[in-house]
Structure 1
Amino acid sequence: MFVRRIAVVGTGYVGLTTGACLASLGHRVECADVDALKVNRLRAGQVDILEPGLAELVAEGRAAGRLSFVVGARDAVADAEVVFLCLPTPMGAGGAADLGAVEAVAAEIRDVLPRGAVVVCKSTVPVGTSTRVARLLGREDVAVVSNPEFLREGSAVRDFLHPDRIVVGSDSPRAAERVAALFTRLGAPTVLMDAASAELVKYAANCFLAMKLSYVNAIAELCELVGADVAAVTEGMGRDRRIGRSFLAPGPGWGGSCLPKDTHAMVRIADSVGVDFQLLRATIETNHRQQRRVVDKVRREVGSLVGARIGVLGLAFKAGTNDLRDSPALAVAELLALEGAELVAHDPEVDRPLPGMTVVDDPYAAVRDADAVVLLTEWPAFRTLDWVLVASLMAGSTVLDTRNHLDPDALRRAGLVLRGLGREPGPEHPTAGLAGSAAEA
């Protein structure tokens, strides 16, 4: 494998993972960021992103002299053969992706890119962005390639080093092959295509996953109303190879740094070409409805939420990360607070103050005097809490497990009432009526 000189612009979640993993493959990588404090911390070996294996890879790369960090993109790209743009593309006005950072960096580096360099858009960007970047660069000797990332928070290093596939898109086959060659050692299937198709792949994949999650949340609600068990239903579904088991766990809604912004961006992309993507719009609305449904469940247990003390377990958008971006846990907490609930929250990896709640560093402090407890993030540590102690500390006796994560027997033995999603019928449960109709038939 050829060793390449690579620049990675942006040291966020995707950029730092990309840089550290490429260095581990033997390439010489320089990562650039505008945040001087972050760069200095990385130079000192301090990795603030909670991601298994990432800090170790950064340390190994620095020790081997293959990974370095610099402030500003111009110095990083000055002698690079390949430049990865790993920049934020947050949700902008009307749901469209904000390409401000991508465009600013393209303008910054266009005059210092070496002749024959390849610029790679690693960020999730709308169709046509590669062409747009090429125009901004104004360099006929520099090719632009789309290489979308498929990294899951909590397993990003593993996902990078053991990918299902590598997608590379460019209108220049030679440039696409140069980028694909960077990953040869991974031995993964590589799919070469045009730039527009590669840009759409990431959106299409994420929107499909969002639809799958919204679907299973709707199935969970249906299970409650007809007396079925969502765990049994999804077990039967997931064994169908056409469906698979992943993304079939009900929850308080989906969130994180990708799915919310990517679904809205995809709707905007569809709108721009006259496609009414009703299925995706319904997916987004179902997600908002799921968050409201969790609040309804809490209200049914405690009555009025005004002045009710609610213990919240989990704030990150999923276990294994400290990422709060578009966390469904925070969305539910905000809705509870808007109805007047007093929230005391604990998350193993979140210790900073948050609006509308008190954040404590001890789960037992979160449940003390609580009228109800709501589990919103599936941290393994919550399964092993002393539930007898929890019961003695609570003012009420109901635990709403929005992840179906806890051991029902352990809570039952502690004298607590466990409510889940898609498992037990609620007060509106009409099973008796259905049974009667079936008997009469």
Structure 2
Amino acid sequence: MKITVIGGGYVGLVSAACFAELGNHVTVIEIDSKKVDMINAGVPPIYEKGLEELLKKHSGKNLVAKSDYNDISLSDISVICVGTPPLKDGSANLSYIKSAAGSIGGEIKKNPGHYHVVAVKSTVPPGTTENIVAKAVLEKTGGNQEDVGFVMNPEFLREGLAVEDFMNPDRVVIGSSDEKAGDVAEKMYENLCARILRTGLSAAEMIKYTSNAFLATKISFSNEIGNICKKLGIDVYEVMGGVGMDKRISPMFLNAGAGFGGSCFPKDVMALVSLAEKIGEKPVLLKSVLDVNETQPLKMVEILEKQTGSLKGKKIAVLGLAFKDNTDDIRESRSIPVIKELILRGALVSAYDPLASSEMRKIYPAINYSNTAGDALTDADGCLVMTEWPEFSRLSSEFDLMKDRVIIEGRRILDITDSEGICW
């Protein structure tokens, strides 16, 4: 198949590389010319495990990147993977979606008689594909619906494991305006062993939001139980270990800690809350999920101050800046509010992350960034571990470099006996 992917970010670039691996001919449309050059050179502009190998294998062959939409009219399907960042009220900003749809429609018009499917992979509120994308496309094509179909094909990719998730999915959801459009979208995955779920457009959109909201709920629920367990002197990991053995629940996303971050969970739960309120519903549970997530990481600073006293003028090592391991993505990282609170309390922050320091420097340019965990820990009065990087589990003697060995964990990763967990 000939596939055009609009957007060269995490979802777009990973999807494009994996579609190429499945034997399709893929064009990535990306407005950032620097990213275009990097992709065509086989160099990923983002870090994602396994992505570089795929780009080196397919770039310049069956995967190319461009800054214009000129080839869309010759492709079988366009896959929209642009961002939907939150607006001030928490709702999804759909301006990039609408712009991409309009550009696609303008190109489709140039090749009348050629059937083309427009697929949305970006996370969007129910009704977006039908009421915004389809309308924007058809406005440009003159309303000719015979030559175009519409699909919602949500992604379920975990950053750091996105390539693996794409190639080994739990399911592929294809919501379509009609059977023909869905059949074209399904063909993209014909060389993949996957369960295919066919639905309507809005149902597919809602599946994505609901999946992320439920996983976020499991995390906030585990954290709230963890806070209770800590005060009762109970190991929450033992508790959740037992709870997760129930096949109705599963052990996934039950690890209590500092909360969730990234480009999906916070944004998508906020968007679902906003959508619910606009239609007259009161999403009490979803709001609580967000409330728990906002307050949870700050408990680490409170525990630290109880152990060290006033933080003013004290050096505090922050290990881990990315929102999770195996990525350089700091979007909604729980380290961000923690560092802000440390600064407000007068602490001198010394931070370390294997990949994400350059990104965090854009937010906090004035704090100290170390090249190793040992450097960050040297002469520190306290340490907060924020990200579950595997290398942190191997730290031992490095903590002896601290002035005062006060270590608070936001993720249960360390292999030492004298650290204190945020909720265990």
In structure 2, how many angstroms separate the alpha carbons of the residues matched to 1:300 and 1:269? 40
Alignment CA distance shift 1:110-1:345 (3 Å): same
Taking the TM superposition and a 5 Å limit, the aligned residue runs for 1:177-188 are 177-188=183-194
Paired residue for 2:405?
A: 397
Contact 1:31–1:76 (Cα < 8 Å) also in 2: no
Paired residue for 2:118?
A: 119
Contact 1:16–1:31 (Cα < 8 Å) also in 2: yes
Taking the TM superposition and a 5 Å limit, the aligned residue runs for 1:218-233 are 218-233=224-239
Deviation at 1:78, TM superposition (A): 2.9
1:55 to 52, 73, 81: 52
Paired residue for 1:156?
A: 162
Question: Which amino acid is 1:254 matched to?
Answer: F
Percent identity over the alignment is 37
Paired residue for 1:137?
A: 137
Deviation at 1:127, TM superposition (A): 0.9
Deviation at 1:181, TM superposition (A): 2.0
In structure 2, how many angstroms separate the alpha carbons of the residues matched to 1:314 and 1:399? 13
Deviation at 1:142, TM superposition (A): 1.4
In structure 1, how many angstroms separate the alpha carbons of the residues matched to 2:357 and 2:322? 11
Contact 1:32–1:76 (Cα < 8 Å) also in 2: no
In structure 1, how many angstroms separate the alpha carbons of the residues matched to 2:337 and 2:2? 43
In structure 2, how many angstroms separate the alpha carbons of the residues matched to 1:389 and 1:16? 38
Paired residue for 2:21?
A: 24
| Gaps in structure 1 of 5+ consecutive residues | 410-416, 424-441
Secondary structure class of the residue paired with 1:149: coil
1:322 to 321, 328, 349: 328
Paired residue for 1:362?
A: 372
Deviation at 1:230, TM superposition (A): 0.9
Deviation at 1:421, TM superposition (A): 3.1
Deviation at 1:388, TM superposition (A): 2.9
Contact 2:209–2:268 (Cα < 8 Å) also in 1: yes
Paired residue for 1:305?
A: 311
Alignment CA distance shift 1:196-1:399 (3 Å): same
Deviation at 1:101, TM superposition (A): 0.9
In structure 2, how many angstroms separate the alpha carbons of the residues matched to 1:30 and 1:338? 47
Contact 1:312–1:345 (Cα < 8 Å) also in 2: yes
Secondary structure class of the residue paired with 2:297: helix
Paired residue for 1:407?
A: 415
2:64 to 68, 72, 82: 68
In structure 1, how many angstroms separate the alpha carbons of the residues matched to 2:281 and 2:355? 41
1:215 to 213, 217, 221: 221
- Please report the TM-score for the alignment, with normalisation by the length of structure 2: 0.94
Secondary structure class of the residue paired with 2:292: helix
Question: Which amino acid is 2:92 matched to?
Answer: A
Deviation at 1:213, TM superposition (A): 0.2
Contact 1:70–1:76 (Cα < 8 Å) also in 2: no
In structure 2, how many angstroms separate the alpha carbons of the residues matched to 1:150 and 1:249? 20
Paired residue for 2:267?
A: 261
Contact 1:32–1:70 (Cα < 8 Å) also in 2: yes
Secondary structure class of the residue paired with 2:186: helix
Paired residue for 2:76?
A: 81
Please identify the structure whose Cα radius of gyration is greater: 1
In structure 2, how many angstroms separate the alpha carbons of the residues matched to 1:116 and 1:201? 27
Aligned residue pair count:
409
Deviation at 1:62, TM superposition (A): 2.3
Paired residue for 2:383?
A: 373
**Post-superposition CA distance 1:94-134 (Å, at most 9, x none):** 00100111111122221211431000000001111111111
Deviation at 1:317, TM superposition (A): 0.2
In structure 1, how many angstroms separate the alpha carbons of the residues matched to 2:30 and 2:44? 14
In structure 2, how many angstroms separate the alpha carbons of the residues matched to 1:251 and 1:50? 24
Deviation at 1:93, TM superposition (A): 2.3
Question: Which amino acid is 1:370 matched to?
Answer: A
Deviation at 1:351, TM superposition (A): 3.5
In structure 2, how many angstroms separate the alpha carbons of the residues matched to 1:390 and 1:273? 53
Deviation at 1:219, TM superposition (A): 1.0
Deviation at 1:33, TM superposition (A): 0.4
Deviation at 1:305, TM superposition (A): 2.0
**Post-superposition CA distance 1:5-53 (Å, at most 9, x none):** 1100111000011111111111111111000111011111111321111
**Post-superposition CA distance 1:42-84 (Å, at most 9, x none):** 1111113211111111111126x21111112x12413111000
Paired residue for 1:435?
A: none
Deviation at 1:323, TM superposition (A): 0.5
Paired residue for 2:127?
A: 128
Paired residue for 1:284?
A: 290
